[in-house]
Amino acid sequence: MDLLVVGDANPDVLLSGAPAVPAYGQAETLVEQGVLALGGSAAIVAHGAARLGLEVGLAAMVGRDAAGDFVLDVLKSAGVDISACVRHESLPTALTVCLNQDGGDRAILTAPGCLAAFGPEHVPAVAARHVHAASYFLQPRLAAGLPEVFRAVREQGASTSLDTNDDPSGAWSVPADLLARCTFVLPNQAEAVALSGSADPLPALAASGTLPVVKAGRDGCVALAGDELISARPPVVEPVDTVGAGDSFDAGFLAGWLREGDLRAALALGAAAGALSTRGAGGVATQPTLAEATALARDVEITSSPIA
Ligand SMILES: Nc1ncnc2c1ncn2[C@@H]1O[C@H](COP(=O)(O)OP(=O)(O)O)[C@@H](O)[C@H]1O
Ligand SMILES: [Mg+2]
């Protein structure tokens, strides 16, 4: 297969128009909209990659419950190979509630369920051209084994990437030997600063031996390749909801990289796929096809400059 994605999968319950602080005391508060969507960074990446035409599999853990059925049904219908998804017999599927605010900010409440039981032994040794891991800090057992998983993947000649996403504990501890085994690391701006411990995260991350691509919301992204800073800015879009935009970016970036083997093309397709995913509620509903993403990628502005 082209891509094996490893990590989290759960339903997202997305509420928009909720008050910043919900009223307690058994008060029932009506909100504008509620949507049930496929969530989990890894699941959204896998779904987006399938939409973009990659042959993609997901290794993840869900419970033997209705939430797990929902996750696997959506992935399967999208063409994702779920044969490496395992079910925990007693712990529930993870579940996320997103409270979306009008300006685009959101609060994310996650019950991790069985995520903590997912480990490196659940990652199949499949022949994939690329292995991407997501939500590092939500899966401590997987995290502990990931350096060895990525070592083996790289030894077989495949490439690797990591999107840690947020660290709810605030510790942001990632071993240097893991970063060194990531062909790409794909954080957003705040995550890049926290991961590197530096206000200038690109050189700090690159010093670990990885190629950093830092996502920057409506500004697109910036990568550091050798001593060249390359940025990709998508056309202005009026987002409906940016849930999963970073994950759809990852899917576009990896599809561009695996198809073209060219960093600029990958950044442009990533920025386009991220921007297009914001057209609708939830992470997967408006993920683009390859034709849609390629068309918008032509309007992504690529600039480069030597690092100062
Ligand atoms: N308001 C926006 N307008 C256009 N594109 C956006 C917008 N927000 C996000 N994107 C796209 O989604 C990508 C990831 O966004 P970002 O919010 O930085 O990541 P994350 O979701 O991981 O926090 C960006 O690189 C960009 O391509
Ligand atoms: Mg993200």
For residue 239, the ligand 1 atom closest to its alpha carbon is 1
Residue with CA closest to ligand 1 atom 12: 274
pLDDT at 150: 98
Quote the ligand 2 centre to 168 CA distance (angstroms): 13
Site to substitute for ligand 1 among 218, 222, 248, 300, most atoms within 8 A of C-beta? 218
* Cβ atoms of 180 and 208 closer than 8 Å: yes
What average pLDDT values come out for the chain (308 residues) when binned by 10 residues?
A: 98 93 94 96 98 98 98 98 98 96 86 97 93 98 98 97 97 96 98 97 97 97 97 93 95 98 98 96 96 98 94
Give the closest residue to 285 by CA, choosing from 17, 57, 35, 18: 35
What element of type H or E holds 252? Answer: helix 245-260
Q: Which amino acid is at 95?
A: L
114 is written with which tokens?
């069985």
For residue 220, the ligand 1 atom closest to its alpha carbon is 25
pLDDT at 295: 98
51 is written with which tokens?
């939409």
In terms of C-beta distances under 8 Å and separation of at least 24 residues, what long-range contacts does 144-151 make, across chains too? 144/119, 144/120, 145/119, 145/120, 145/121, 146/120, 146/178, 147/175, 147/177, 147/178, 147/181, 148/120, 149/6, 149/120, 149/123, 150/178, 150/181, 150/182, 151/181
pLDDT at 120: 97
Residue with CA closest to ligand 1 atom 3: 218
* Cβ atoms of 119 and 140 closer than 8 Å: no
* Cβ atoms of 293 and 271 closer than 8 Å: no
For residue 275, the ligand 1 atom closest to its alpha carbon is 5
Rounded Cα distance, 58 and 173, in Å: 25
Rounded Cα distance, 155 and 273, in Å: 30
Angle at 164 between CA 212 and CA 259, to 5 degrees: 55
Residue 16 CB partners (closer than 8 Å, separation 6+): 31, 32, 33, 100, 101, 102, 241, 281
pLDDT at 287: 98
Q: Which residue has the tokens 């509420």?
A: 15
Domains recognised in the chain with CATH numbers? 3-21+31-306 (3.40.1190.20)
Beta bridge partners of 149: none
In angstroms, the Cα distances linking 45 to 5, 71, 124, 150, 196 are 7, 13, 18, 18, 23
Q: Relative to the alpha carbon of 41, which ligand is closest?
A: 2
pLDDT at 101: 86
Angle at 164 between CA 298 and CA 252, to 5 degrees: 20
Q: Which amino acid is at 86?
A: V
Quote the ligand 1 centre to 54 CA distance (angstroms): 21
Rounded Cα distance, 238 and 135, in Å: 27
For residue 216, the ligand 1 atom closest to its alpha carbon is 18
Q: Relative to the alpha carbon of 216, which ligand is closest?
A: 1
* Cβ atoms of 95 and 11 closer than 8 Å: yes
pLDDT at 20: 87
* Ligand 1 site, CB within 6 A: 188, 215-218, 220-221, 234, 237, 239, 242, 245-246, 249, 271, 274-275, 278
Residue with CA closest to ligand 1 atom 15: 217
pLDDT at 259: 97
Maximum separation of any 2 CA atoms in the chain, in Å? 58
pLDDT at 102: 79
Q: Relative to the alpha carbon of 297, which ligand is closest?
A: 1
